[in-house]
Structure 1
Amino acid sequence: MLGHRYRFRAVDRELRWHCERGCGAGGSKSYDTAERAERYAAALDREDRAALGERAPLIGLLPLRLWRSISRKRQASSSPTPRS
């Protein structure tokens, strides 16, 4: 129901991932350098819960996107404008 929650890590030149929920899903991929594998692991292994709704899929989280958009517009219109 909730889908996979992959975690990524680099081991030498290999990028490895597994599902944090313990379902057994996972895999690996080899890169030409350990630095490249580490860079991909760092980029992919992050939680974006704070940004939920900002880059949400259009269909599934459309109400959340609309609510955030309206909230931003209200905040912008209620903030005082600086005078020169």
Structure 2
Amino acid sequence: MLRCQILGHRFRFYGEGETMRWRCVRGCGAEGAKRYPSEADAQRYARAFDREDLEDLGRRAPLVGLFPLRLLRALRRRGRKSAGTRTT
């Protein structure tokens, strides 16, 4: 699928017993699985991997495209830290 070739796959992760499975939601057919020692491990890893990067857009912004967003976030953090140490 052209969209996956350009933008990359968009995997969703889920657990089935002791196996963690993933599948591209764009319908290109990319999928896989990995077996873990316990069902709890498979579920834990599936939950950890199954999140949208959009949730952390300002915190984990790529250096190139979203650099201004990362810079703005760093300046805000710095402003909050220095505001707490000022004496008037």
TM-score bucket (shorter structure)? 0.7 to 0.9
Q: Using the alignment, how far apart are the partners of 1:35 and 1:43 within structure 2? A: 12
Matched to 2:24, the amino acid is C
Root-mean-square deviation (Å):
2.5
1:15 equivalent to 2:14? Answer no
1:50 equivalent to 2:55? Answer yes
- Identity among equivalent positions (%) equals 52
Secondary structure at 2:14's aligned position in 1? strand
Q: Using the alignment, how far apart are the partners of 2:17 and 2:84 within structure 1? A: 53
Bigger share in helix: 2
Instruction: Give the corresponding residue for 1:70.
Output: 75
Extract unaligned runs of 5+ from structure 2. 1-5
Extract unaligned runs of 5+ from structure 1. none
Figure out how many residues of one structure are paired with residues of the other and give that number: 82
Deviation at 1:24, TM superposition (A): 1.0
Q: Using the alignment, how far apart are the partners of 1:13 and 1:50 within structure 2? A: 28
TM (norm. structure 1) is 0.75
**For 2:38, which of 29, 33, 36 is the aligned residue?**
33
Deviation at 1:21, TM superposition (A): 1.0
Secondary structure at 1:67's aligned position in 2? helix
Matched to 1:58, the amino acid is L
Instruction: Give the corresponding residue for 2:3.
Output: none
Relative to structure 1, is the Cα distance of residues 63 and 80 closer, same or farther in structure 2, using a 3 angstrom cutoff?
closer
TM (norm. structure 2) is 0.72
Relative to structure 1, is the Cα distance of residues 80 and 63 closer, same or farther in structure 2, using a 3 angstrom cutoff?
closer
